[in-house]
Structure formats: C-alpha cells, structure tokens
Amino acid sequence: MGPVHMTPEQAVEAQRILRVQTAIATHFGTFALADDSMAGPIERLNEALGKSNQPMDFRVLAEGESCCFTDGERSPCIKAAPHGSHGETAR
C-alpha cells in the first residue's frame, strides 16, 4: 500500500474515529498490483473488524454491486443485473 491508500486496519480505525454509521470498502481486488493477494485486503478487513470492540457496518460490495442510501435509511445491497432483468438482494 502506498501513501495514498488506507490499509484495511486503518479503514476500520477511521470508521471508529469518525463515528461513521456505514463504511464501504472500495478500490480493491480488481487488479493484482499490490504486494498482497487479491483476497488479502478482505481477509485483513474481516480480521480487523473481528478485533473491534464495537459492532460496525462495513460493506464489501462485489464488482458491479451497489447500495442505496436515502434520508438516512439503508436499502439492501443490490447486485447489478444483466440487461433486461431485475437485481437480486445480496444480503
């Protein structure tokens, strides 16, 4: 990780410090450019969340998946649907 990226552990700490209701992991697992494995960031994120002493809503979306947030209400994450079909609830 370079100076412009957060590690998974730093992301969990930032969510705690900033008291963010929901965090979303982004910019990972698309290209094998880092010094860790493709699954490494998610494994480390899950480990850091497991060590946290408070429950946290930290979303990890699949490629093409989205979440909607309106008026403080959270909808289920919806996977991108193939053309002409409806999305499916991911969680």
* pLDDT tens readout for residues 30-54: 666 666 677 788 888 889 999 988 8
Could you tell me if 43 and 73 lie in one domain?
no
Q: What is the pLDDT of residues 23-32, one digit of tens each?
A: 888 877 666 6
User: Within 10 Å of residue 8's Cβ, how many Cβ atoms?
Assistant: 22
Residues 40 and 23 in one domain: yes
If asked whether residues 12 and 51 sit together in one domain, one would say: yes
| Domain around 73 | 63-91
pLDDT of residue 9: 92
Residue 77 has pLDDT above 60, yes or no: no
Q: How many helices (H) and strands (E) does the chain have?
A: 2, 4
53 and 31 share one domain: yes
Question: Is residue 34 situated within a structural domain?
Answer: yes
52 and 72 assigned to the same domain: no
Positive or negative torsion for Cα 91, 88, 45, 14: negative
